[in-house]
Amino acid sequence: MAGPDPITAGKVYYIPLNSVPGQAYVTLPAPPAPAPAPTDYTLSETPDHHSTKFPYGWVIGSMGVALALIAIAVLALVLWKFFGYNPQDPNNQGKSPDRHKFQLLKSGSFCYGSGRYLCCQFGNAKPTRADGGDHHINVPKGMAADVFDREKPIVFTYEEILTSTDSFSDANLLGHGTYGSVYYGVLRDQEVAIKRMMATKTKEFIVEMKVLCKVHHASLVELIGYAASKDELFLVYEYSQNGLLKNHLHDPESKGCSSLSWIFRVQIALDAARGLEYIHEHTKDHYVHRDIKSSNILLDGSLRAKISDFGLAKLVVKSSDAEASVTKVVGTFGYLAPEYLRDGLATTKSDVYAFGVVLFELISGKEAITRAEGMGASSNSERRSLASVMLTALRKCPNSMYMGNLKDCIDHNLRDLYPHDCAYKMAMLAKQCVDEDPVLRPDMKQVVITLSQILLSSIEWEATQAGNSQVFSGLVAGR
Say if residue 53 carries a ligand binding annotation: no
Beta carbons of 403 and 422 less than 8 angstroms apart: no
The candidate with the shortest Cα–Cα distance to 315, out of 403, 206, 235, 417, is 206
* Distance of alpha carbon 267 from alpha carbon 218, whole angstroms: 13
Identify whether 291 is a catalytic site residue: yes
In this structure, the strands spanning 305-307 and 232-238 are: unpaired
The candidate with the shortest Cα–Cα distance to 430, out of 402, 410, 401, 457, is 410
- Give DSSP secondary structure letters for 377-395: TT-STTEEEHHHHHHHHHH
Beta carbons of 422 and 452 less than 8 angstroms apart: no
Active-site residue, from 291, 300, 411, 435: 291
Beta carbons of 313 and 288 less than 8 angstroms apart: yes
In this structure, the strands spanning 232-238 and 287-288 are: unpaired
Beta carbons of 227 and 160 less than 8 angstroms apart: yes
* φ, ψ at 15 (rounded to 5°): -110, 110
- Give DSSP secondary structure letters for 439-458: GGSPPHHHHHHHHHHHHHHH
Annotated binding-site members for ATP: 195
**Which residues form the catalytic set?**
291
